[in-house]
């Protein structure tokens, strides 16, 4: 794997991790386990910031899959993650956060798999 690909997958992994972490924090906040005044929750409650995070995750995952080889685990995980992320725009409330969390963990695992495979 090229150095640029490792960097791209590392950045994608980071964005996906923050996306997943944010969604878990929101879900725990809605359940009443955490205080909803956390800075990370407040920052991404703005719909613009939320959309930027999701679209950057989709963009980085797509750039990482530039060679669309639809064989193997990576492509299935990519398609599943992107489907969850796109479907999240048609959901409201906690359901949106659950779909984004599933999409983020899928894309996160795709990046982690590609990085681990490169070593």
3-state secondary structure of 33: coil
Task: State pLDDT tens for residues 24-49.
Answer: 888 888 887 877 677 767 777 777 88
CA distances, 57 to each of 31, 35, 38, 67 (Å) = 26, 26, 22, 17
Residues 96-109 have a mean pLDDT of: 89
More confident residue, 30 or 90: 90
- Which residues constitute the domain of residue 8? 3-118
Is pTM, for the whole model, over 0.75? yes
Residue 104 CA to chain centroid, in angstroms? 3
């Amino acid at each position: 794997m090229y150095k640029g690909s490792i960097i791209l997958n590392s950045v994608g992994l980071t964005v996906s991790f923050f996306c997943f972490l944010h969604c878990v924090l929101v879900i725990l906040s809605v359940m009443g386990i955490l205080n909803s005044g956390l800075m990370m929750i407040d920052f991404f409650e703005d719909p613009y910031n939320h959309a930027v995070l999701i679209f950057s995750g989709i963009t980085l995952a797509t750039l990482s899959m530039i060679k669309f080889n639809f064989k193997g685990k990576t492509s299935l995980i990519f398609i599943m993650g992107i489907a969850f992320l796109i479907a999240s725009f048609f959901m409201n409330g906690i359901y949106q956060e659950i779909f984004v969390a599933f999409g983020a963990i899928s894309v996160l695992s795709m990046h982690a798999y590609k990085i681990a495979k490169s070593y």
